[in-house]
Amino acid sequence: MTHRPLPRVEVELGRTVPGSALHAAAVLVTGGTPLLAALGSSATGEFLAFWILGAVAIGGWAAWRPGHPPALTGAATTALLLAVASADGGVSAALWLAPLAYLGIRLSTWAAATGLTTRVEVAALARSARADGVVVVVTLLVGAVASVLDGGSVTGLVIGAVALLGLVLLVLRTQDGRP
């Protein structure tokens, strides 16, 4: 038996982002979206304090266990708050909060897939960022058209939410469930 040395392998990585930065961004966006909705709503007093506490709890959950559950809960909480505590049914705020909620979901997906000490190559983030950018732009367009066509009622919010859900399912299905 002859002894053969293992081949020498060199790996070169491009620019990277720390996993801790992805985790921090996921927590800020996931908890921040319902917080922004609460602060921009017509809620006052104890009702407002309840929603702020809920947003902080969602952010804490995202920090403790990042992934889809806290991110989807944050998005649903935002939508519920807009529906019940906004003067116009939340249509105007939904135009910018829906893409922010989607960003929270995607950041939470990346945070769940990476550890705090790992590094993610920017090229890997860029691949999914293209599809995510399309979803955000189309969501903004659909939301704006729905708002204009409906005169800014709750129906426009429902149309925008259904369109966002359809787009998210389409993109996630084509990505085979990976970030």
Beta bridge partners of 120: 17
For residue 118 the two structure tokens come to 């790992």
Q: Which two tokens stand for residue 59?
A: 């952010």
The pLDDT of residue 27: 95
Q: How far apart are CA 112 and CA 106, in angstroms?
A: 10
At residue 121, the pLDDT reads 87
pLDDT at residue 176, as a whole number = 46
- Domain-wise residue ranges, the chain: 16-174
- CA 55 – CA 133 distance, rounded (Å): 25
| pLDDT per residue of the chain (179 residues) written in tens, 0 to 9 | 677 888 888 777 788 889 999 999 999 999 999 998 888 777 788 888 998 999 999 999 999 999 999 999 999 888 888 878 766 656 666 677 888 888 899 999 999 999 999 988 888 888 888 788 887 777 777 766 766 666 665 565 566 667 666 666 665 555 544 54
